[in-house]
Amino acid sequence: MNTPCGSRRFSHLAIWLFMLLFIGCSPVDGFVPSANAGMSLDVERELSLLRDGQVKIHISGARYRYAVFTYEDPDQTGLGNVLATIISHDLLVNGKVSSLGVLRYLGDLGKSSDEKQLRYFEKVEPLIESQGVQVAVWGVIRRTEDGVRIDSYVQLSPSVMQQTFSFTFRPREMGGAPLVHRVGPDRLQVQRRSFTDSEVQRLLNVAENLGSLRSAPRDNAPIASPLPLGKVHYLIERRGDWVKVAIQGGKSGWLRTKGFCTDVCASLLDVSQFAADLMAYDEHEYRIPARRSSLADDARVFIDQLLAVDALNRASPIDAEQVALAILKPWCDPRSGLPSPGGGATCNLRALIQIVGPGKKAAALGDSRPLERERIGAIASQLARDSLADPRHQPTLSNLSVLFGWLGDSERASLASQLAQSARQNSP
């Protein structure tokens, strides 16, 4: 596995040197900005500035950057801002990395946008790309017979997928030819939850209490200031279950970090904590995200791929293949014609484990026999069949090119290489 820990630590050192300079030289109205900050933005105004080429990077000093969008609300439930407020608040005050910025985009992304008639996803993607956001959160709300159904989604940027969630294996027995894996999917459903009408009212009450700063770290303290639109607010002090926040060019006050979203609301925080876990995986040297019970299949298969890669690299070489394959077994059944929740990524990783795992075991046992061509041929053929369910999955196609090339099947190796190149050119 390719894990450039040295370069990663160097990049973190460079970031912290920058932050020291930033903190030392940029006081804001009497206080020093922290490395954690949030900002509320008008989505239509930001899109207009983007179209005019007037992009300004918000909270530019943050190493890890999140965007939370108003949930799409076609049935007019009134919950679009409520849910995004709860999730963005939790991301900011309970983040798991040392330097983070949370951009909270306010506005109805479901409406057409001026003359461009942009759809929901066509608005999300250019905004997060222009801001260097690694993780974006949004969702869809639909009415049901007795309440609402809420689907929450996370999208990971191409850069974070390449830098953090991509792995390279170079089996010695194949001459060190690179076999690659990229965890997937990169746009995933994190959760589906249903709420009754009475539970919806409790969500409304939660969000109402998150839009203002208290003058003291108490629930009954007077309101010091609302959180303004278009201004950065920095976290400057923690005290128990509260954090003190200072508004750029304005007042300071307190926000609750724990106990603000309990009972029926609590499961929503699994969405924000999953998003936080993804970036903590990068900063904290491959700390696997928690596998919370309310997470949807897309999120669970993403976590299980990370667990399988970790097992392949950290488990005993004798057992690594068996342990890693057991983790993936629920998601990729070669006898099933149904696509995996992880798309091509899950079955691609299964094939790599079947190649890399035996090599590790053989090395540990001092077995120098070459790889069995028949066995590798069977793995490659199965992976080719699996690829039909996700024919644009670039890592699978790249690996097929390597495997067929090693097997001496130049025709299929060339075809796989061409398809991989096409998928690469058409990827975002």
Residue (of 237, 241, 144, 121) closest to 193 by Cα position: 144
Among 31, 16, 14, 15, residue whose Cα is nearest residue 232: 31
Going by C-alpha positions, the residue among 185, 178, 189 that lies closest to residue 420 is 178
| Residue pLDDT, tens place only, 296-347 | 999 999 999 999 999 999 999 999 999 999 999 989 876 665 667 788 899 9
pLDDT in tens, 34-70: 579 999 999 989 999 998 999 899 999 999 999 999 9
- Tell me the C-alpha distance between 247 and 29, whole Å: 9
- Please report the pLDDT score of residue 176 as a whole number: 85
The upper half-sphere exposure of residue 131, i.e. CA atoms within 13 Å in the direction of its Cβ, equals 30
- Domains of the chain, first to last: 5-162+189-266 (no CATH), 296-426 (1.25.40)
Task: Please compute the mean of the pLDDT values over residues 214-237 and round it to a whole number.
Answer: 94
277-296 in b/e form (b: 16+ CB < 10 A) is bbbbbbbeeeeebeebebbb
Is the predicted pLDDT of residue 20 greater than 80, yes or no?
Answer: no
**Does the structure show a pLDDT above 50 at 236?**
yes
Q: Distance between CA 413 and CA 399 in Å, rounded?
A: 9
What is the pLDDT, as a whole number, of residue 108? 79
